[in-house]
Structure 1
Amino acid sequence: MEFFGSFQGLGIEGATLLMFGMLLALLVSGIPLAFVTLLVALIFALGWFGPMAVPLITSRVYSFVSSFVFVSVPMFVLMAAILDRSGIARDLFDAMRLVGGRLRGGVAIQTILVAVILAAMSGIIGGEVVLLGLIALPQMLRLGYDRHLAIGVVCAGGALGTMVPPSIVLIIYGLTANVSIGDLFTAAFFPGLMLAGFYVAYVLIRAYLNPAVAPIVEEEDHTPLSEKIKLLKGLILPILVVIAVLGSIYGGIASVTEASAVGVVGVMLSTILRGEFSYALIRGAAMQTLQTVGMIVWIGIGASALVGVFNLMGGVRFVSALIGNISDEPLMILLFMMAVLFVLGMFLDWVGIALLTMPIFVPIITSLGYDPVWFGVLFCMNMQVSFLSPPFGPAAFYLKSVAPPDISLGTIFRALLPFIALQVLALAILIAFPGITGR
């Protein structure tokens, strides 16, 4: 019984240090983030307030999981899972071959364009990297593309789902920061395309400075007109789904949650029209969705509980005062936050980062006079870097699972360095020119 309330003697400074140390120690031991945060939240709720604080944790968790907008997350995950199991992505890649033509670096550019369309269909990262790794990477390697360029294009292109609406990262941020997800989608649309444009420009510059890195296919194009028309049909269904999802949101016809349901129906109709719809496809997609969303929900429960307890302890006020004392310049505080997110991104999943840091960072950003929607776009661009950065960049591990055996993780991470530099450049431009987001 002496344990209850004993942490108050540490003061908020000592308790914050103990909480951080406990989190780090448990994470290093290999326990999943969701269970670590939930365990630490329970320990500190009992150690600071006593048994009466436990219902406060449950109410905090309930408010997170009962949000109507959260329903859109499993919907978009289901869209991506169905895409994984259909031939839509493969036909889309074949159709974009007509766009690439005989342009130097054309296959790499077509890979980036396909990545943008796939991102606009589902907003999931892992599936895109795997799909492009199975479809685009072998083709680029067969055509003699520089291995590092091909790997970088696949991973960086596949990670565009973080930025291009409907991004699940934006949805989780909107839920956490209590800002309009529709506004976030509108603000992130051009920055996402800008980043994709940087990748295209990089490919073209590399290809024309050193033609050996991206050879032009020498064989003549003998594809008959009827075959070209058939290939172009592969563009129709994906583009219709994108128009249905984003058009309904931007047109004010549907909310984000309703648009996600429209997207699922659109993708399912596409598989029916293509003759691919089956019980096995839907069952596999549903199981994958259950697994992915289960992970997100558990991390959300743990992080919500931890931040709720920390807030009740006065920890958010303490951290806000601590960050506020770093500098009198709002820009320096913003850059410090970006640095914290960058470091956390090397070790933690983006869901955990968003749910642990945004309840603390967003009120500070608002008090400094910055727009929380613009900050959300900065957060998503920062998470772009986390998907590629060593030692735990998820995109590298996704690609490794489908890459040829002779491509090591070290090779993949080295290939990603120029694309990480482009992401940091895009982040710097967004900080310097907030108007790019339309805010």
Structure 2
Amino acid sequence: MEFEIGTLSIILIVGLLALISIGVPMGFASGFMGAVLVFLYIGEHALGILLSRYYSLVVTYSFLSVPLFIFMASLLERSNIARDLYDALNAWLRKTRGGVGVVTAIMATIMAAMSGIIGGEIVLLGLIALPQMLRLKYDQDMSIGIICASGSLGTMIPPSIVLIIYGLTTETSITMLFQEAIVPGLMISGLIITYILIRTRLQPHLAPISDEPALTLKEKMSYLPGLLPPIGIVIIVLGSIYSGMTGITEAAGMGVVATLIIIFARKELTWFLFKDALTRTFKASGTILTITFGATVLAGAYSLAGGPKYVAETILAYDLKPMYLIFMMQIMFLIMGAFMDWVGIVLLAMPVFLPIVLALGFDPIWFGILFCVNMQVSFLSPPFGPAAFYLKSVAPPHISLTDIFRGFAPFIVIQLIVLACVMFFPEAMTQNFHEFKPKP
């Protein structure tokens, strides 16, 4: 039985949504629909082509950086490096209104620059910062929002795994993506901190100042060694990339070695810690590989069937202004992000949208930054915002998922503001805006 490509597109969308809605994991749902498409439209012989496509992606040298960064994040979670970082920052800001919230945001920014992982960071902040804020009678909704929004910064701030997968999928420079993501990522962090400081001054009851005595300058200085290991790891990883000394994968390997050396020097390296970090790495990497397999099969089958060309021609036929089309894509990403994992979105959507972006004369690097800001929003977007479930796993029993989602609203607004800035003022947000000129 043969179907028109338009009919097949509708079947794929409806089928994929139906499978996800009944709880089928993203990797299996997309893989199944890809197999259905192969048999309906192309034929069994295409399965070999799709498998070779998947193989060529996962054996790409840069792909090795993904499990390495996950392993580094898992090691950091199990050591006391993050706790010492938190104590050092808190020592300097404990008598500032909203200081614990600011400490949480700064710590999250540094942690994001160390490993580029999201879930583990939210869990870590939930264990370290949330009890402290609740003990000091900080507003629960604001505390939850700070932790989840700040903990999601690994989406944007290099070495972001999202940027790496986007770069591999679209065959764009990961180093360039890292360079362009710094300003938007730090802007989100800065706006979160600004929001905390302004709101807690307008409504002091949201963040009471601790009754603990202020520390002397000497006491504050004694906490500074807690900042050295995290900053050292950031310099090793990002410094080696931006200086041109190494590529992404080598930098990830250096980060893992540096982390192991630091943990060993602190006498925290045990077989249990190492084994647990390795187990978590295998599980997380397996999840990514499963989703990658399913999404690659579906995207590859759809490409062989001529789907991207069909979608591009259909959209471009409306003769809308280029920025209107980019705006429509961002709306679609926001909707998809509320229901799907970001790995599936980048692997499924980019083969369809990127040809349109290039045909309109836009830079794929700039579009990648837009996508990553969008995925930052997706981590907080109900009903399936992953940040809420990460925090719920370590939050006190009285905090429900509804309570967690309720605290997200102002931080989603902050993320959307940055998304709008990157979209409409790229010359201020990126370094290479002059390199591309959108078609009128």
Give the TM-score range, shorter chain: over 0.9
Q: State the partner residue of 1:368.
A: 360
Does the alignment pair 1:92 with 2:85? yes
Q: 1:99, 1:110 within 8 Å by CA — same for their partners in 2?
A: no
Measured against aligned partners, the alpha-carbon deviations of 1:207-235 in whole angstroms (never above 9, x if no partner) come to: 1111111122233224683x534421110
2:389 aligned counterpart, secondary structure: helix
Aligned 1:37-436 pairs, distance under 5 A: 37-222=30-215, 225=218, 227-435=219-427, 436=429
TM-score computed with the length of structure 1 as normaliser: 0.96
TM-score computed with the length of structure 2 as normaliser: 0.96
Q: Which runs of 5+ in 2 are unaligned?
A: 433-440
Structure 2: distance between partners of 1:185 and 1:250: 9
Q: 1:326, 1:333 within 8 Å by CA — same for their partners in 2?
A: no
Q: State the partner residue of 1:18.
A: 11
Residues 198 and 55 of structure 1: is their aligned pair in 2 closer, same or farther, counting only changes over 3 Å? same
Structure 1: distance between partners of 2:184 and 2:360: 23
Measured against aligned partners, the alpha-carbon deviations of 1:356-408 in whole angstroms (never above 9, x if no partner) come to: 10111112111111111011111010001100011010101111111111111
Alignment: residue pair count: 431
C-alpha RMSD over aligned residues:
1.2
Amino acid across the alignment from 2:220: K
1:176 aligned counterpart, secondary structure: helix
Amino acid across the alignment from 2:12: M
Q: State the partner residue of 2:437.
A: none
Measured against aligned partners, the alpha-carbon deviations of 1:169-227 in whole angstroms (never above 9, x if no partner) come to: 000000111100000000001110011000011001101111111122233224683x5
Q: 1:319, 1:360 within 8 Å by CA — same for their partners in 2?
A: yes
Superposed displacement of residue 416, structure 1: 0.5
2:18 aligned counterpart, secondary structure: helix
Q: 2:307, 2:352 within 8 Å by CA — same for their partners in 1?
A: no
Structure 2: distance between partners of 1:201 and 1:222: 24
Q: 1:115, 1:158 within 8 Å by CA — same for their partners in 2?
A: yes
2:45 aligned counterpart, secondary structure: helix
Measured against aligned partners, the alpha-carbon deviations of 1:78-114 in whole angstroms (never above 9, x if no partner) come to: 0111111111111100000133142211110011000
Residues 407 and 327 of structure 1: is their aligned pair in 2 closer, same or farther, counting only changes over 3 Å? farther
1:124 aligned counterpart, secondary structure: coil
Structure 2: distance between partners of 1:355 and 1:412: 29
Could you tell which deviates more after superposition, 26-35 or 373-382?
A: 26-35
Q: 2:175, 2:248 within 8 Å by CA — same for their partners in 1?
A: yes
Structure 1: distance between partners of 2:146 and 2:92: 17
Superposed displacement of residue 146, structure 1: 1.1
Structure 1: distance between partners of 2:318 and 2:343: 26
Structure 2: distance between partners of 1:285 and 1:79: 8
Structure 2: distance between partners of 1:325 and 1:212: 55
Structure 1: distance between partners of 2:62 and 2:163: 12
Structure 2: distance between partners of 1:148 and 1:326: 44
Amino acid across the alignment from 2:214: D
Structure 2: distance between partners of 1:325 and 1:388: 34
Residues 319 and 403 of structure 1: is their aligned pair in 2 closer, same or farther, counting only changes over 3 Å? same
Q: 1:38, 1:301 within 8 Å by CA — same for their partners in 2?
A: yes
Q: Name segments (4+ residues, structure 1) moved above 3 Å.
A: 227-230
Amino acid across the alignment from 2:191: F
Percent identity among equivalent residues?
Answer: 49
Q: 1:64, 1:300 within 8 Å by CA — same for their partners in 2?
A: no
Q: Which runs of 5+ in 1 are unaligned?
A: 1-5
Q: 2:85, 2:227 within 8 Å by CA — same for their partners in 1?
A: yes
1:190 aligned counterpart, secondary structure: helix
Superposed displacement of residue 25, structure 1: 2.0
Structure 1: distance between partners of 2:319 and 2:105: 40
Q: State the partner residue of 1:3.
A: none
Q: 1:60, 1:304 within 8 Å by CA — same for their partners in 2?
A: yes
Measured against aligned partners, the alpha-carbon deviations of 1:18-76 in whole angstroms (never above 9, x if no partner) come to: 12222122222222111111122122212212222221111111111111110000000
Structure 2: distance between partners of 1:337 and 1:222: 51
Structure 2: distance between partners of 1:196 and 1:222: 26
